[in-house]
């Protein structure tokens, strides 16, 4: 099956480096991480040494200076090929949900303080936007940050925070104006909060899938942080989120396309070998029809994602377009992995099986980064504006 996304020689050289790293440092240990629900910090520093982190970070801060999103796609493809979806998610959380804000709105001093350590893997971060009562609706955020002299005092709770336990710092969305809990867009700000400031992580949340990546609640109880940890301007938090969410949703769409492609390819190989009633599973017309539909859906998804990546690289991926590709790709990934799991039969119902892992990883994607129901509303408003 011919891939529908084109890569240059430089992308393929990067692929070789990523593949070698994943084979030796990730895939061999991944089943143990799944059982322990945690990855060791050493994998982050190893990824940094391999040059796989902070791809878009300028060279002056230790990065590769490669903002072309196809490099990130290559890394996602190679991780998915080995079934390492949890590590792919953890990298995405830092590369696509934290770094863009520091790159776009951070001061030179902030960039010097945090970016080099993120590139080397010495600093692992989490994105703390979601709250028990504020998931896709960020205006319902109740966490507060009150100015007191040269500090802000944070109080509140976040939930479903990827890398919440293992991370050293969190990018936190907080209310910086008093009044209604559903304030306007000027009521919120972003802060980089280091764990050494005193916030605490709750117990590991027992997720349905992606169990190698830790997820937890975060608690802020009179946590004092320096005023210079404010990222960007006071009161501009929601505007910044709106500006940067397209990258997060592109990442989800890209992951969806990769999961769909790798699962279809694995299933094609399997049905050619598996025997039922003296015939290959591939010899049944139902199998061929199901796989043809899955392949067409996977290739269409790749084409859509490829177009979105081109728009992103050109600085032209809008919030509505990112929402559309995320909805389309994530729902296709769910349908495709469900179809392929059925064709594998009972083996794929075992958690350790790669198709089971792909199915569980795909199921998160219509929820993550804004539920598809909320995004359909966003797209609808844009369409009818």
Q: How far apart are CA 9 and CA 15, in angstroms?
A: 10
Closest CA to 96 of 122, 67, 117, 59: 67
Structure tokens at 99: 């770094």
The rounded distance, in Å, linking the Cα atoms of 234 and 146 is: 11
CATH classification of the domain holding 21: 1.10.540.10
CA 302 to chain centre: 17
User: Does residue 183 have a pLDDT over 80?
Assistant: no
> What per-residue confidence (pLDDT) applies to 57?
97
* End-of-domain residue from the set 193, 219, 235: 235
Q: How far apart are CA 77 and CA 195, in angstroms?
A: 32
Same domain, 266 and 367: yes
Q: What is the pLDDT of residue 180?
A: 46
Q: What does the alpha-carbon distance between residue 130 and residue 162 come to, in Å, rounded to a whole number? A: 10
Phi, psi of 377 (to 5 degrees): -65, -40
Same domain, 245 and 358: yes
Q: Phi and psi (nearest 5°) for 123? A: -115, 115
Please check whether residue 76 lies inside any domain of the structure. Answer: yes
Cα–Cα distance, 143 to 228 (Å, whole number): 19
Are residues 40 and 61 part of one domain? yes
pLDDT of res. 133? 82
Instruction: Give the mean model confidence (pLDDT) for residues 244-267.
Output: 96
295-307 tens-digit pLDDT: 999 999 999 999 9
Tell me: do 283 and 244 sit in the same domain: yes
* Whether 304 contacts 328, CB under 8 Å: yes
Q: What is the DSSP string of 2-63?
A: --SS---HHHHHHHHHHHHHIIIIIITTHHHHHHHT---THHHHHHHHTT-S-TTS-GGGTS
Note whether 130 and 119 are same-domain residues.
no
Q: From residue 284, give the alpha-carbon distance in Å to each of 276, 287, 290, 357.
A: 10, 5, 10, 26
Band (pLDDT 50/70/90 cuts) for residue 365 is very high
Residue 181: which pLDDT band, with cuts at 50, 70 and 90? Answer: very low
- Distance between CA 272 and CA 26 in Å, rounded? 29
Q: Are residues 130 and 106 in the same domain?
A: no
The answer as to whether 31 is a domain residue is yes
pLDDT at 179 over 80: no
* DSSP 8-state secondary structure symbol assigned to residue 283: G
**Cα–Cα distance measured from residue 258 to residue 246, given in angstroms and rounded to the nearest whole number:** 18
pTM for the structure as a whole? 0.94
**With bands split at pLDDT 50, 70 and 90, how would you rate the model's confidence at 175?**
very high
Q: Residue 159: is its pLDDT beyond 80?
A: yes
Q: Is residue 217 located within the same domain as residue 267?
A: no
For the segment 235-247, the average pLDDT, to the nearest whole number, is 94
How high is the pLDDT of residue 292?
Answer: 97
pLDDT at residue number 385 = 79
Which pLDDT score, from 0 to 100, does residue 3 have?
Answer: 61
Digit-coded pLDDT (tens) for 75-119:
999 999 999 999 999 999 999 999 999 999 999 999 999 999 999
The reply to whether 2 falls in a domain is: no
User: Does the structure show a pLDDT above 70 at 182?
Assistant: no
Residue closest to 15 by CA, chosen among 60, 49, 51:
51
Q: Domain containing 191 — which CATH number?
A: 2.40.110.10
Q: Are 117 and 151 within one domain? A: no
Distance CA 99, CA 385 (A): 31
- Asked if the structure places residue 230 within a domain, the reply is yes
Q: Is 201 helix (H, G, I), strand (E, B) or coil?
A: strand
Q: Are residues 257 and 370 in the same domain?
A: yes
Query: Where does a domain end: 100, 123, 146?
Result: 123
- 189 and 271 in one domain? no
Q: CA–CA distance from 45 to each of 51, 120, 171, 345, 381 (Å)?
A: 10, 6, 20, 39, 43
Q: Would you state the pLDDT for residue 305?
A: 97
DSSP string, 73-126: HHHHHHHHHTT-HHHHHHHHHHHHHTHHHHHHH--HHHHHHHHHHHHHTSS-EE
**Domain carrying residue 280:** 239-384
pLDDT, residue 186, reads 65
Mean pLDDT of all residues in the chain? 94
Element (H, E) at 377: helix 372-384
More reliable by pLDDT, 6 or 16: 16
When pLDDT is averaged across residues 340-357 and rounded to a whole number, the result is: 94
Last residue of a domain, one of 123, 148, 173: 123
The domain tally of the chain equals 3
**Tokens linked to 200:** 């605490």
More confident residue, 5 or 145: 145
Domain with residue 298: its CATH number is 1.20.140.10
> Is residue 3 situated within a structural domain?
no
Q: Which helix (H) or strand (E) holds 363?
A: helix 354-364
Cα–Cα distance measured from residue 67 to residue 315, given in angstroms and rounded to the nearest whole number: 11
Whether the per-residue pLDDT at 359 is higher than 80: the answer is yes
Tell whether 261 is covered by a domain. Answer: yes
Q: Provide, rounded to the nearest whole percent, the portion of the chain with pLDDT above 90.
A: 90
Domain membership of residue 1 (yes or no) is: no
The lowest-confidence range among 26-35, 167-176, 181-190 is 181-190
Q: Are residues 305 and 358 in the same domain?
A: yes
- Whether 245 and 380 map to the same domain: the answer is yes
Residue 4 lies in a domain: no
Q: Do the bridges between strand 169-175 and strand 125-128 make them parallel or antiparallel, or are there none, so unpaired?
A: parallel
């Amino acid at each position: 099956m011919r891939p529908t996304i084109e890569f240059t020689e430089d992308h393929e050289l990067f692929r070789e480096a990523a593949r070698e790293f994943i084979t030796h440092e990730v895939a061999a240990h991944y089943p143990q991480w799944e059982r322990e629900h945690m990855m060791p910090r050493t994998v982050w520093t190893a990824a940094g040494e391999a040059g796989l982190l902070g791809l878009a970070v300028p060279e002056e801060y230790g990065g590769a200076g490669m903002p072309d999103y196809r490099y990130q796609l290559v890394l996602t493809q190679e991780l998915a090929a080995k079934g390492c979806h949890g590590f792919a998610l953890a990298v995405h959380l830092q590369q696509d949900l934290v770094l863009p804000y520091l790159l776009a709105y951070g001061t030179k001093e902030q960039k010097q303080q945090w970016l080099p350590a993120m590139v080397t893997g010495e600093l692992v971060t989490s994105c703390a936007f979601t709250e028990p009562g504020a998931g896709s609706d960020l205006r319902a955020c109740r966490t507060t940050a009150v100015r007191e002299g040269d500090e802000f005092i944070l109080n509140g709770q976040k939930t479903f925070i990827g890398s919440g336990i293992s991370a050293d710092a969190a990018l936190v969305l907080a209310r910086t104006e008093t009044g209604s809990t559903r304030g306007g867009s000027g009521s919120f700000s972003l802060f980089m909060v280091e764990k050494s400031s005193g916030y605490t992580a709750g117990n590991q949340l027992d997720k349905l899938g992606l169990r190698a990546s830790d997820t937890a609640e975060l608690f802020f109880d009179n946590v004092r942080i320096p005023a210079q940890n404010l990222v960007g301007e006071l009161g501009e938090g929601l505007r910044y989120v709106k500006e940067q969410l397209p990258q997060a949703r592109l990442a989800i769409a890209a992951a969806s396309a990769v999961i769909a492609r790798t699962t279809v390819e694995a299933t094609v190989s399997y049905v050619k070998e598996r025997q039922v009633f003296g015939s290959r599973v591939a010899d049944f017309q139902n199998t061929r029809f199901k796989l043809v539909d899955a392949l067409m859906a996977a290739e269409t998804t790749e084409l859509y994602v490829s177009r979105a990546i081109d728009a992103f690289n050109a600085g032209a991926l809008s919030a509505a377009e990112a929402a559309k590709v995320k909805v389309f790709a994530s729902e296709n990934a769910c349908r495709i992995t469900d179809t392929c799991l059925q064709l594998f039969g009972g083996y794929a119902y075992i958690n350790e099986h790669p198709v089971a892992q792909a199915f569980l990883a795909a199921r998160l994607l219509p929820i993550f980064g804004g539920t598809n129901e909320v995004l359909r509303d966003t797209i609808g408003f844009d369409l009818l504006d």
